[in-house]
Structure 1
Amino acid sequence: MTQQITRLDNGLTVVSDRMDNLESAALGFWVKTGARDEHEGEHGIAHLLEHMAFKGTARRSARDIAEEIENVGGELNAGTSVESTSYYARVLKDDVPLALDILSDILLNSRFDPVELEREQHVILQEIGAAEDTPDDIVFDHFQETAFTDQIVGRPILGTRDSVRSFSPSDLRAYLDRQYGPDRIVVSAAGAVEHDAIVAQVSSLFEHRRSPILEPANVKRSAARYTGGEYRERRDLADAQLLIGFEGRPYYQRDFYSSQVLSMVLGGGMSSRLFQEIRERRGLCYSIYAFHWSFSDSGLFGIHAATGEEELQELGETIVEELVKASEEISDTEVVRARAQMRSSLMMGQESPAVRAGQMARQLMFNGAIISSEELFDRLAAIDAARLKDLAGRLFIDGAPTLAAIGKLERLASVDALAMPLKAGQTRPRSAAGMA
């Protein structure tokens, strides 16, 4: 790898990784701000701002933006998450300067035209409606809202119909000025790229943009406070959507990588415990998987499955049984397999310039440094069965559960009833989680 990092005088960071033998590049602007940084009356504004970035600047109309990138066969896209927002492109190597110019233009010079804003608000209202009509999508929103009750970190990224309709161009500009200081921006590029050329162009484009002087209250992020709890919504569906979860681990904690491996052991593929026991042996659902999401100060560990009304009770009980078993016994064979799955996924991702650019940006934003593949593999190699078993006990036995379900739920026990086998093991000793 040929990773290079440059920090400009105004605080903006440029990172690149040249990948020989490629004729294309992936690049973008990652901003360390997301839905979690909205103020109380701004629900959905981070996502709306991301949409509006492509709707015209002082130099380009919305159509100009689309045509300029597609005239060279490139692609533009963007995304908003809980803690970050990204604007990125994929182009051939000769068109990297054009992509940088367009991406810089939409960040620095968006017009927020009222007509375009009204049109895009309508688009997002349709997006909200589509999510509500998709149970296997919206159940995740309810899961996060229940896990972090009455907190901004738990709110759906899209916002509500009323909040999205309420925003004006001045609201968007105020949020942009408050959150998009250069010290929160990472320009990341991978593939057929030249680091010095990117630094020179970004320096020229951003030379007059400096971090705004803000009062601490404007930028302070409230700490996440995991609550757990239960959300049930009865709908007449063929399959009931079920999510059972617990508080996960933040990026920086020692348990972060162990949590990823544990999710693989439990539900990371067809050989995983949950798939084999629930899907293959009992036939209780078509698919089931486990996941671990991390934030800067908390996280979520969850299991998702969908099943029919008749199977719902046994499904929930069997998931809990497998969680109890994980705190009591995990084999070396399972750990080796899960580590191999993660290692191969990481290595395959490194072959994609888009994946590599995103990884570098996120690691710089949330870890303050790039973690090499060798270091990642060493961390994985240090994870053994005893460590995972102990972690499972601290997550599932000692943790408070969250349940979210949509469908015909008459046969689904309450979260307290489902958790009874977990609570039975709370007297066992647990070790404290360490830092990375």
Structure 2
Amino acid sequence: MGVEVSRLSNGLTVATETLPSIESVALGVWVKSGARNEHDNEHGMAHLLEHMAFKGTNKRSAFQIASEIEDVGGEINAATSVETTSFYARVLGDDVPLAMDLLADILTESKFDPGELEREQHVILQEIGAAHDTPDDVVFDHFTETAFRHQTVGRSILGTAETVQSFTSKQLHAFIERQYGAEKMVVVAAGNIKHDAFVREVEKRLGGFRAKADGVVPQYAQYVGGDYREHRDLQDAQIVLGFEGRAYHVRDFYASHVLSMILGGGMSSRLFQEVREKRGLCYSVYAFHWGFSDTGLFGVHAATGQGNIDELVPVIISELEKAGTSIGQDELDRARAQYRAGLIMSGESASSRASQIARQLLLFGRPIAKEELMERLANLTIDRLTDLSARLFSTKPTIAAVGPVGALAPYEAIHAALPDANGGTRRLAV
């Protein structure tokens, strides 16, 4: 049957996909507003709102929210990203009206009680502390902050202890009023669901939600790159080497994902085989590509012992350089197969499918059929991937390193060793 989409009179988009073999339903509300939409004095507010969503409304206490969904065996949660916030639930088909009522209640009637707010601020302070104590998490915070210095797109989603402690109930209400409008929200359900019945449930509860919000469009991202190093007395070093990636809407977005798979997307990938299997220089290495609405990040993460750093980075750079001149047809076919399998497997999960549809609606304004994605993959060629590699890895890098990183080569030396945009070959001494 595919994805069915309706739009309410206030601009709210409602989409469903019936999955005949599934008896449960995953549903939620996705908002095109996240950490990137915060003002400077609101750093961490989008994430705090996610926490406060379940702390009581004008109709329900925090306990009632939890007990009502669990009385029917369901679950409810929320998540914050750089550009979106989601509130979602999973229940059996007969309990969709209850789940939708709960989601609408927390979106429209949350009290943000000062006592609950104080307790949740304390919880998030612990979360910030735990993240700081986890080097393989904190290195990515520093990586994005360095890549997009002094910009909201690069800031930690959690915020800082100072900002989180400063927020008031009034500020939380004002943030929602400013950022949450029906025209930038989608409601999606996947699983044992009937479209028309679901649209009626959403209309009943959110049909009167304000159409527009006054939130300012986020600042356009400017990738700057640079170097961050934090020396810690640890057993291993966490290192991320990255470059400006591609935004969702640009031609090379899917090519960048496939390139990340070829370089470091599994045990058969180039980096895993060369760095870990053949040389034993680290216990973890992989490549990634993150897309945003106007930019992206492509990177390689490695975790290694202090004694291997001086050899590890040149080998990684060598593999990046090789990708600009030679990629095998077998590698491209394998990456395509990985991508295709991932799409099909995620489609067998109601939660994954609902989230995927929501992202596509927010980013592209329409659901994208699996066949269209497969066609885009099929059109990728070796020449296109090598050309992308040559351009991508000759740009200014971002380096973030945490741990015993004294042996890591200077930033200037690493930058100079990267492939030359004019096709020249450069080397970083091992």
Q: Which residue of 2 aligns with 1:39?
A: 39
SS of equivalent residue, structure 1 residue 219: coil
Aligned partners of 1:314 and 1:339: how far apart in 2? 31
Are residue 226 (structure 1) and residue 223 (structure 2) matched? yes
User: For 1:127-185, what per-residue CA distance to the aligned partner results, in whole angstroms no more than 9, with x for missing partners?
Assistant: 00000000001110000000001111111000000000000000000000010111111
Q: Which residue of 2 aligns with 1:422?
A: 418
Letter in structure 2 aligned against 1:344 = A
Aligned partners of 2:120 and 2:44: how far apart in 1? 13
Letter in structure 2 aligned against 1:2 = G
Q: Which one of 377, 381, 385 corresponds to residue 384 of structure 1?
A: 381
Q: Which residue of 1 aligns with 2:243?
A: 246
Q: Which residue of 2 aligns with 1:347?
A: 344
Q: Which residue of 2 aligns with 1:405?
A: 401
Whether the aligned pair in 2 keeps the contact of 1:251 and 1:366 (CA below 8 Å) is yes
Whether the aligned pair in 2 keeps the contact of 1:228 and 1:401 (CA below 8 Å) is yes
SS of equivalent residue, structure 1 residue 290: strand
Q: Which residue of 1 aligns with 2:427?
A: none
Whether the aligned pair in 2 keeps the contact of 1:177 and 1:212 (CA below 8 Å) is no
Deviation at 1:111, TM superposition (A): 0.4
Aligned partners of 1:428 and 1:308: how far apart in 2? 33
Whether the aligned pair in 2 keeps the contact of 1:34 and 1:83 (CA below 8 Å) is yes
User: For 1:100-121, what per-residue CA distance to the aligned partner results, in whole angstroms no more than 9, with x for missing partners?
Assistant: 0000100010000000000000
Aligned partners of 2:207 and 2:29: how far apart in 1? 16
Q: Which residue of 1 aligns with 2:291?
A: 294
User: For 1:23-71, what per-residue CA distance to the aligned partner results, in whole angstroms no more than 9, with x for missing partners?
Assistant: 1010000000000000111100000011101000011000000000011
Aligned partners of 2:80 and 2:411: how far apart in 1? 31
Aligned partners of 1:24 and 1:220: how far apart in 2? 37
Q: Which residue of 2 aligns with 1:74?
A: 74
Stretches of 4+ aligned residues off by more than 3 angstroms: none
Whether the aligned pair in 1 keeps the contact of 2:17 and 2:189 (CA below 8 Å) is yes
Q: Which residue of 2 aligns with 1:23?
A: 23
Aligned partners of 1:105 and 1:227: how far apart in 2? 42
Letter in structure 1 aligned against 2:368 = I
Q: Which residue of 1 aligns with 2:118?
A: 118
TM-score after normalising by structure 2:
0.97
Are residue 328 (structure 1) and residue 293 (structure 2) matched? no
Are residue 147 (structure 1) and residue 156 (structure 2) matched? no
Deviation at 1:204, TM superposition (A): 1.4
Deviation at 1:293, TM superposition (A): 0.3
Deviation at 1:234, TM superposition (A): 0.1
Whether the aligned pair in 2 keeps the contact of 1:324 and 1:421 (CA below 8 Å) is no
SS of equivalent residue, structure 2 residue 313: helix
Are residue 313 (structure 1) and residue 310 (structure 2) matched? yes
User: For 1:285-314, what per-residue CA distance to the aligned partner results, in whole angstroms no more than 9, with x for missing partners?
Assistant: 112100000000000001111001100111
TM-score after normalising by structure 1:
0.96
Whether the aligned pair in 1 keeps the contact of 2:181 and 2:213 (CA below 8 Å) is no
Aligned partners of 1:427 and 1:227: how far apart in 2? 21
Are residue 101 (structure 1) and residue 97 (structure 2) matched? no
Are residue 88 (structure 1) and residue 85 (structure 2) matched? no
Q: Which residue of 2 aligns with 1:184?
A: 184
User: What root-mean-square deviation, in Å, do the aligned CA atoms of Structure 1 and Structure 2 show?
Assistant: 1.1
Aligned partners of 1:213 and 1:238: how far apart in 2? 49
Letter in structure 1 aligned against 2:4 = Q
Aligned partners of 1:85 and 1:382: how far apart in 2? 33
Q: Aligned residues: percent identity? A: 59
Aligned partners of 1:428 and 1:23: how far apart in 2? 56
SS of equivalent residue, structure 1 residue 189: strand
Deviation at 1:212, TM superposition (A): 4.2
Whether the aligned pair in 2 keeps the contact of 1:292 and 1:302 (CA below 8 Å) is yes
Aligned partners of 2:383 and 2:423: how far apart in 1? 14
Whether the aligned pair in 1 keeps the contact of 2:33 and 2:85 (CA below 8 Å) is yes
Aligned partners of 2:208 and 2:347: how far apart in 1? 34
Q: Which residue of 2 aligns with 1:173?
A: 173
Whether the aligned pair in 1 keeps the contact of 2:183 and 2:212 (CA below 8 Å) is no
Aligned partners of 1:206 and 1:350: how far apart in 2? 27
User: For 1:318-354, what per-residue CA distance to the aligned partner results, in whole angstroms no more than 9, with x for missing partners?
Assistant: 1111111111111111100111111101111111110
Letter in structure 2 aligned against 1:167 = F
Aligned partners of 1:207 and 1:123: how far apart in 2? 34
Q: Which residue of 2 aligns with 1:274?
A: 271
Letter in structure 2 aligned against 1:60 = R
Aligned partners of 1:363 and 1:347: how far apart in 2? 16
SS of equivalent residue, structure 1 residue 200: helix
Deviation at 1:98, TM superposition (A): 0.6
Aligned partners of 1:310 and 1:428: how far apart in 2? 32
Whether the aligned pair in 2 keeps the contact of 1:10 and 1:210 (CA below 8 Å) is yes
SS of equivalent residue, structure 1 residue 386: helix
Aligned partners of 1:422 and 1:2: how far apart in 2? 45
Q: Which residue of 1 aligns with 2:204?
A: 204
Q: Which residue of 2 aligns with 1:136?
A: 136
Deviation at 1:426, TM superposition (A): 1.8
Letter in structure 2 aligned against 1:69 = I
Q: What are structure 1's unaligned runs of at least 5 residues?
A: 430-436
Aligned partners of 1:306 and 1:230: how far apart in 2? 17
Aligned partners of 1:363 and 1:282: how far apart in 2? 41
Aligned partners of 1:262 and 1:246: how far apart in 2? 13
Aligned partners of 2:373 and 2:178: how far apart in 1? 34
Deviation at 1:220, TM superposition (A): 2.0
Aligned partners of 1:248 and 1:363: how far apart in 2? 19
Are residue 237 (structure 1) and residue 234 (structure 2) matched? yes
